[in-house]
Amino acid sequence: MKHILLFLSLSIFSFNVFSQCTEPVVESWHFTNPGNVNIAFNAQEDTEAYQFIFSALYTNSGPMPGTATATFGGTATAGINEVSINPTQILDFTVTAARYFYKVSLLTSCGDDLWSDTVNFYVSPYSMRNNPGFQCAENQYSPISILPDTGGDPFLFTFEVEQETAPDLISNLGILVDIGHTFNGDLSMSLISPSGTEVDLINHPNVLAGSSGLSMFFADNGADLNPQNQLGIFAPAQPLSVLNGESPVGTWTLSVIDNLEDNYGLLYGVCLNFDYTPCAASVSGLTYFDLNGNGLKGQDEPVFPYAHIHDATSGGDIYSDSQGMYYGCLSQNNNVLQLSNLPEYYTISPSSVTPIIPLGGYKQNVNFGVVPQPDMIDLEIKIWQSEPVLVGQTGKFVVEYKNVGTVCTQGAAFEIELNESLTITNIDMADVIITGNTATISSSENICPYQSQDFEISFIANSGLSNGDVLHSDVSITGLAFGLIEQSFSNNSATLQSAVTNDTDLNFKTVSTDTITSWFVISDEPIDYLIRFQNTSPESIQQMHIVDALDENLDLSTFKIESVSHPMLIEQEGNLFTFTFNDIALPASANDEEGSRGFLRYSAQPKSTIAAGAIIENTASLFFGALPGMQVNMVTTILIESTGLDKYDFNASVYPNPASTQIEVLAPANAKIAAVVVYDISGKRIESFHTGNSERFIIDVSVYDAGAYILRFESGKLIAPLLWIKE
């Protein structure tokens, strides 16, 4: 996207149109507030500049509506251009309309004083079309026509509906009408179908009184007309259902009558919708860090991306985007909104917001600012897998440390201890000392609240490893510069569990742990998930999405985005999450191997009611552009009871896991196993095997019932019990 600097001229722009430049296409427009409209347009090849001419209706200016006009211009390039304009500077004290519309003319230049044809459209902060959730479908029209002020003569606007844009028969019809008028009480309106059936939308008993400007979606389940509000969903004077069963194809007519003289207006837009129900109420706003606690977003205050806003009334969920902006379609007009993922050491007041929105209305600037508690020092560290661990080959882990406190810190020390079968070859940080599978790091980076830094650990895996080996690697924060003491040390260490594989696919999913205990649950510890993806198609892709159904044993109110490689949007329906990456521009791996990759990390806590033996399963489906979906591997976590031993020196491994017919048990390096005892998840002993101090052996599990089992080992070493799942 290209952001463009503007210049303003308060005189009417004059130009010669030779139609030698291809006209632009208006992609979208949106008022963030009455004083700012964002417009996106697609300019054609060789475009160098653009001109916007805004015209606003004035009142008391003579027999025809007076207008004030301003021209805005700037440079443009081929492709999508985005501009922000404040059109209110052309309004002055003569404006009496509480709601007003602008006619906009757009043209572009391709040099040498050559200009495109003019593209005309209209915009308004008071139109339902300013609501991002309102859909006009394909049957939308912009007449921008002056209504005759002759005291009763109808203005007839006709428009065609084609078979391709309509159902076979009419049902659940709705119509949006946008009118800028200085006295709405003068108006009456009716809709005439292609079959000639006329339905009154507004009679003329002065029902809208002295209000000005209207944007009304007429539907049979709408609210009653009233002079206090003219934006939203309203019931017509006669039911539109009388048209049910008629053919929608043909010429429609909207009749608008200005019944009295001396007040003026224009019909700006009409939108005919079939089988469509708009949002009962819509809301948008910003989530941000309110560092000074004044309730306003300051220029230097960062946004709070991917904030989780819960609708306590309907049970719905809304998420802000990477820029802290959110939009929600609510199921009713009085909903209680709460911020679910309030960061530790931050407060919010009030704790909930109840925006009062009329039926079909749109409430903007419902903002959530989180306020820091003073002087809280806390760093958090995480480690995750960026590439598969392959026998005898190189791989990479990523470490992220984040300031989750409320004050900036400068410098920290770290220790790295990978599994002894992994030899560190490089860490992309300064002041690093590497010794085999361990390393120490000193960083002097200044990191402020909710900023993060990450670094890669490159390693080579031992050639003696086997598929299915489970490796554990640890990272920790060992201290802060200047002797600063943290508020909490519980997040100063992290363990990565990774499995050795022979699969080189970079589309995979991992989980932070395959077993948890009741202590993990009552401590409110989260389970971390990582989804890695790579575009292996021959072409770059511009859009992708991930669909992920979270397990019923996860508490969705604790869902939180940890980090993500590219900006995305989040939608949630029940336990089904869709992560959409628009304009991701992910190149093909054959052209840019590193650039073709991406990732998503999120976390959620187990439900407090989870029972022993419960298995938390999770997978995801990846959709690259229009290509068929790709399902990644399943990951599992099981709740087990404590075995009575908290620390073990060695870890065995089992492969495959889950298994259906047999499993291969692998002893840890420099250890042998004398016997294996199999328990079910309740602790009942199932079977035992004497293995004769073996390093690896096979167990037939074909007769076992499906479920989770625990293997305990007899050996001269302390070997941790191991969980496996029978399919």
| Cis peptide leading into residue 239 (ω within 30°) | no
- pLDDT value at residue 653: 84
Q: Are 52 and 106 in contact (CB under 8 A)?
A: yes
The answer as to whether 130 is a domain residue is no
Pair 647, 632 in one domain: no
φ, ψ for residue 149, nearest 5 deg: -105, 65
> What is the reported pLDDT for 683?
59
Domain co-membership, 392 together with 491: yes
Omega before 656 within 30 of 0, i.e. cis: yes
Distance of CA 727 to the CA centre of its chain: 35
Split the chain (727 residues) into runs of 10 and give each run's mean pLDDT: 34 44 94 93 95 76 58 96 89 59 94 92 94 90 90 93 96 95 90 98 84 92 88 96 98 95 88 93 95 93 96 92 95 87 92 91 94 95 93 96 94 95 96 96 92 95 90 92 85 89 90 86 90 96 97 96 97 97 95 96 96 91 95 90 56 86 85 78 70 81 86 73 84
Do 522 and 628 reside in the same domain of the chain?
yes
Closest alpha carbon to 503 in 616, 598, 595, 385: 385
Residue 386: partners with Cβ closer than 8 Å, 6 or more residues away: 396, 397, 398, 456, 532, 597, 599
Q: In what order do the strands lie in the sheet with 394-403?
A: 379-385, 394-403, 452-461, 422-427
Looking at the fold, whether 518 and 633 belong to one and the same domain comes out as yes
Element of type H or E holding 520: helix 518-522
Both 366 and 470 in one domain: the answer is no
Among candidate residues 609, 642, 675, the one where a domain is terminated = 642
Three-state SS at 521: helix
H/E/C letters for each residue in 184-199?
HHHEEEEEECCCCCEE
Against a cut of 0.85, is the pTM above it?
no
Give the model's pLDDT for residue 199. Answer: 98
CATH at 17: 2.60.40.10
The last residue of one of the domains, among 598, 622, 642, is 642
CATH of the domain at 194: 2.60.120.260
Tell me the one-letter amino acid at 116. Answer: S
Same domain, 628 and 524: yes
331 and 443, same domain (yes or no):
no
Contact 663, 656 (CB under 8 A): yes
411 shares a domain with 293: no
Residue 131 domain flag: no
Residue 555 covered by a domain: yes
Does 628 lie in the same domain as 516? yes
Residue 467 sits in a domain whose CATH number is: 2.60.40.1530
110 and 159 in a common domain: no
Q: Is 7 exposed, middle or buried (0-12, 13-18, 19+ CB in 10 A)?
A: exposed
Residues 6 or more apart whose CB falls under 8 angstroms from that of 332 comprise 280, 281, 313, 314
pLDDT at 17: 44
Helix or strand holding residue 518 (H, E): helix 518-522
Element (H, E) at 285: strand 281-289
The Cα–Cα gap between 223 and 361 comes to 11
Q: Is residue 134 part of a domain?
A: no
Q: Is residue 133 part of a domain?
A: no
Q: What residues have CB less than 8 Å from 624, skipping those under 6 apart?
A: 533, 535, 537, 541, 544, 586, 630
Q: Domain boundary at 352, 372, 392, which?
A: 372
* Nearest CA-CA partner of 641 in 726, 519, 527, 547: 519
Whole-Å CA distances, 230 to 127, 187, 358, 364: 10, 13, 10, 17
620: CATH:
2.60.40.740
Q: What is the DSSP letter of 375?
A: T
Which residue is it, tokens 């199999």?
678
Chain centroid to Cα 646, Å, comes to 40
SS3 track for 121-154: EEECCCCHHHCCCCCCCCCEECCCEECCCCCCCE
CA 286 from chain center: how many Å?
Answer: 13
State whether 300 and 408 are in the same domain.
Answer: no
Q: Could you list the residue range(s) of the whole structural domain that residue 534 is in?
A: 505-642
698 found inside a domain: yes
Task: Note whether residue 361 is domain-resident.
Answer: yes
- Sequence length of the chain is 727
Q: How much is the pLDDT for 64?
A: 42
The Cα–Cα gap between 138 and 162 comes to 10
Please return the burial class of 225, using the count of CB atoms within 10 Å of its CB with bins 0-12, 13-18 and 19+: buried
Q: Are residues 425 and 523 in the same domain?
A: no
CA distance 307 to 561: 8
Domains in the chain: how many in total? 6
pLDDT of residue 94: 46
* Long-range CB contacts (within 8 A, 24+) of 313-322: 316/572, 317/556, 317/572, 318/283, 319/569, 319/570, 319/571, 319/572, 320/286, 320/287, 321/567, 321/568, 321/569, 321/570, 322/564, 322/567, 322/568
Assigned domain for 132 exists: no
